[in-house]
Amino acid sequence: MPALGLFHTAIRTADLAGTIAFYTRVLGLEEVPRPATLKFPGAWLAVPGGDAIIHVYAGEAARDPEGRIAADNEAGVVDHLAMRARGFTHYLRVLDAHGIAWRAQNRAGEPVWQLFVHDPSGLKLELSFDQAQEPDLPVAIPESRRYRAAERWFDPAPYAALTQLPADQVA
């Protein structure tokens, strides 16, 4: 029998508060309750009104056998996590307002626009947008912001300010 789809992804972080702030305040996900039987720090994040799609592990659960917590996806086997999204130009404004670096692409003749960004731990995310549902598209993508698969542009500095935002400030 075939698999039925992706249920959730679990990510490890050394910065639980910053990771929650990024996914809720920048990407617009919401934190949802997680089972009380989980005794390690973490969070479950969901599309508003939906099921948890991201499980965040922190503390000892995030450490590898040598006690380290990964700080970028450069050395891992996963290159990026892709999510469907709406509001391409909205996300550009939010990311720019927070000083968070991004890259984008749209291949000629394809209806999908992609926006690439990193979370506070350096996990590369792809936000995919259907041009038919994006009234602001097409837009020009500056050459310096065009996505190149081998390029590494993660800078952790801007993420620290996210935890200083008011709790009700979201994307």
What are the tens digits of pLDDT across the range 103-158?
A: 999 987 789 999 999 999 999 999 999 999 999 999 999 999 999 988 889 999 99
The answer as to whether 115 is a domain residue is: yes
Which pLDDT value is given to residue 14?
93
| Average pLDDT of the chain to the nearest whole number | 90
The answer as to whether 104 is a domain residue is: yes
Phi-psi label, residue 133: left if phi above 0, alpha if psi -120 to 50, beta otherwise: alpha
Q: Which domain holds residue 92?
A: 9-164
The answer as to whether 131 is a domain residue is: yes
Q: Residue 87 belongs to a domain with what CATH number?
A: 3.10.180.10
- Alpha helices (runs of H) in the chain, residue ranges in sequence order: 16-21, 88-97
The answer as to whether 4 is a domain residue is: no
**Going by DSSP bridges, is the β-strand pair 52-57/112-118 parallel, antiparallel, or unpaired?**
unpaired
The answer as to whether 152 is a domain residue is: yes
The answer as to whether 1 is a domain residue is: no
How many domains, the chain? Answer: 1
pLDDT range class, residue 69, cuts 50, 70, 90: confident
CB 91 within 8 A of CB 45: no
Which pLDDT value is given to residue 72?
72
Q: Which of 88, 80, 119 is nearest to 104 (CA)?
A: 88
The answer as to whether 169 is a domain residue is: no
pLDDT range class, residue 167, cuts 50, 70, 90: low
> Per DSSP, which regions of the chain are E strands?
9-12, 30-32, 42-46, 52-57, 81-84, 102-105, 112-118, 124-130
The answer as to whether 130 is a domain residue is: yes
% of residues, the chain, pLDDT over 70: 95
